[in-house]
Structure formats: C-alpha cells, structure tokens
Amino acid sequence: LVNQAYVEPADDQMLMTGALDGATDALDPFSVYVPAEGAETYRTARLEALAHSGLILLRERGVIFAVAVGPGSPADAAGIEAGDMVAEIDGEPTRLTPLWQVQRLLARPAGSEVKLKVFRNQELKDLSLTLGTYVSPAPEVSEHEGISVVKLFDFDDRAMPAVRQALKNAADRSSHQVVVDVRGIATGSESVAYDVAGLFVSGELGGLMKRQEKVESFEGGAADWQGDVVVLVDRSTLGPAEILATVLRQKAGAELVGERTFGYAGRLKEISLPSGGQLWITDAFYSGPDGEPLHESLVPDVRVSVAPWQEEDAGEAKDEILERGLDRLRELAEAPAEEKAA
C-alpha cells in the first residue's frame, strides 16, 4: 500500500525495518528489533554494554534515557543518573537511533572512554564514562532507632543472607518492624526475589504468566512474619525488585513508600527471522500472588517526591524516603490493632 501511494518507489527492506522497529517500540521499552547487519553481535553487545557500564538504557518515543544506574558502576562514577536523557554518545546523536545501535556503542572493552551529552533538569551536561567491570555493593543491614533496615543493591546470592540477618536482628530485639530498601534495583534474578519474599510469607507467591497461562510457579516455605514491613521504592525499582515489593504488599501487608516504580517484570525471548534479523520480545510477565502480570508501575502507599536539587546533592541531602518509611512504621506501631487489620 505504501509503495503504491507514496510519491516515489520505496525500498521494501527499509519499509520492513521501519515497521518492525516501530512495532517493537510501541510494545514496551524492552522489546527491540535488530536487523540482520546487527543480529550476529547483538546478543553479546547487550550483555557487554551493561557489564562494562552498569547503565540500563531504553528508548521511548525516539528518546534514549537512563532507566537505572548500577550502584558502584562506571556509570555511577561518571555521574549519570536515572532519568537522564542521553543526547549524544561520542558525538553521535541518539535521537531516533535504534536501541540496539546505542547499546553497541557501549559494548567496548574495559578501559575505553565514552563521551556523553545528557539532558538533566533542562540542562545539557558533558560526562565522561570509563568502561570497566564492577561488582555491585554488598547489601547493608543497619538499625534506625530499633527498626531493622536492609538495603539491597542486587538480587544475587547475597540478598537472602542479608534479609535473613535483618529479620534475625529484629527478632533479637523483640522488634516486629523492618524496612526493605529496593530503590535503584533494576537487575538480578527473579527467582531470588521470590526466595527473599519467602523469608516473610509462605504459600503461593506468584508465577510467570504467558497470555493468562501460568508457565512457572513460585512458592514460599514455612516463613510466617507477623510484623510490619515497609518497602522503599523509586522510579528505578524494576523487575525483581517489583516482584518482591508486590509479594510483600499482597501477602505480608507491606506498605510501599517512595516514588512510582518503573513498571516492568517481564521475560525477553529472542526470535530469529528469515531475513537474518532478530526480535527480542517480551513473551511473559511475572506476577504476584494475585496472578496479575507486572507490567504497570506500582503506586506507593505513601508517596514521597524527591526534588531535583536533592538528587543533585544526594550525598548531603537527608534521605526523605527512608525517613518517611521509618515514620510510617512508628505510626503503625502506635496504631490500634483494628486499624492495622483494616
């Protein structure tokens, strides 16, 4: 139809590439079409780009932006922040550039330097990113006025012991309150997220849903946490972190404090095309105990807006989301039992 109606003949391959690129862009920010010329190296490039930068980039409406920045990563050291719009990479404009090409620009050996131009708070900033391997920080377990706080940075084999220790600390103090901080977490294992949730609650925790069919189930053990839980979230809370927040909200009565989460806990499937290209498409979503797929933002029970200047000077600014979470637990401790049950 386009060839017939357009003012001059159009290249069929160009039309197909544009159609597939636009279609995946419309599905969700993680689905992507890779043409034949990039397909062979893309699988490795997407992993190398993340491993050497700690930067999760997505494209929406033709704009490349940072969804999350791994704590302790090269991107973190370079001063890149979640929400930054990436305008240029090494002088190459990213506007309307396919995501696979942008990721390939970051898939370079450790030690490589990448020059970025990013928009933040309506200002253009020049940043320098030195690529390299890194390990996310270890979880932090602390106490704030008798309340156990566990800060996770990833859902790896260190997450379970840290949360278990926080719960033990609470029990040793005869405390029944804990804060679980999953802000900024966009990576990790979905199964670990369910395992961590199983430290609080038992029974069915959720599953992997493919077009209303559950293709995998996750269950907790004999845990039976009876206390109050607050989960700290923000706009970079994504994937496994959203799974944990959802399970604790639905089965442990946890309250979410902070900002709206990103809204995506899905599984990407690679599909090879006859043309030699590839489609990376979300073919299933994870769910909480209610069986609803996690593809929308989680709205916090207690919303805390972080002002731009606080983010710019995060090292000195008071952690308002944590403070509000602790305040909420104090309020719950003083609330009548019937109010908690409601």
Q: What does pLDDT average to over the chain?
A: 89
pLDDT, tens digit, for every residue of 209-255?
Answer: 998 889 999 999 877 788 999 999 999 999 999 999 999 999 999 99
Which tokens sit at 192?
């670990």
Tell me which of 326 and 22 has the higher pLDDT.
326
pLDDT at 9: 55
10 has a pLDDT exceeding 90? no
Q: Which residues contact 318 (CB under 8 A, 6 or more apart)?
A: none
pLDDT at 20: 65
> How far is 211 from 53, CA to CA, in rounded Å?
34
Nearest to 234 by CA among 295, 138, 171, 302: 302
DSSP lists the bridge partners of residue 279 as 33, 271
pLDDT more than 70, % of the chain: 87
Average pLDDT in the 258-280 region? 93
19 has a pLDDT exceeding 70? no
Residue type for position 66: A
pLDDT at 211: 85
Confidence band, pLDDT 50/70/90 cuts, at residue 80: very high
pLDDT at 37: 87
CA atoms within 13 A on the CB side of 103: 25
Confidence band, pLDDT 50/70/90 cuts, at residue 185: very high
pLDDT, tens digit, for every residue of 295-308?
Answer: 999 999 999 988 65
HEC per residue, the chain: CHHHHCCCCCCHHHHHHHHHHHHHHHHCCCCEEECHHHHHHHHHHHHHHHHHHCEEEEEECCEEEEEEECCCCHHHHCCCCCCCEEEEECCEECCCCCHHHHHHHHCCCCCCEEEEEEEECCEEEEEEEECCCCCCCCCEEEEECCEEEEECCCCCCCHHHHHHHHHHHHHHCCCCEEEEECCCCCCCCHHHHHHHHCCCCCEEEEEEEECCEEEEEEEECCCCCCCEEEEEECCCCCCHHHHHHHHHHHHCCCEEEECCCCCCCEEEEEEECCCCCEEEEEEEEEECCCCCECCCCCCCCEECCCCHHHHHCCCCCCCHHHHHHHHHHHHHHHCCHHHHHC
141 has a pLDDT exceeding 70? yes
Tell me which of 11 and 71 has the higher pLDDT.
71
Nearest to 54 by CA among 137, 123, 121: 137
> How far is 121 from 311, CA to CA, in rounded Å?
11
157 has a pLDDT exceeding 60? yes
Residue found by looking up tokens 């069915």 in the block: 204
pLDDT more than 90, % of the chain: 69
Nearest to 63 by CA among 49, 78, 40, 83: 83
pLDDT at 337: 59
> How far is 216 from 209, CA to CA, in rounded Å?
7
Residue 149's region, left for phi above 0, alpha for psi from -120 to 50, else beta, is beta
pLDDT at 317: 64
Confidence band, pLDDT 50/70/90 cuts, at residue 119: very high
Full set of structural domains in the chain with CATH: 2-130 (2.30.42.10), 140-266+285-307+316-341 (3.90.226.10)
pLDDT at 60: 83
Angle at 25 between CA 284 and CA 75, to 5 degrees: 90
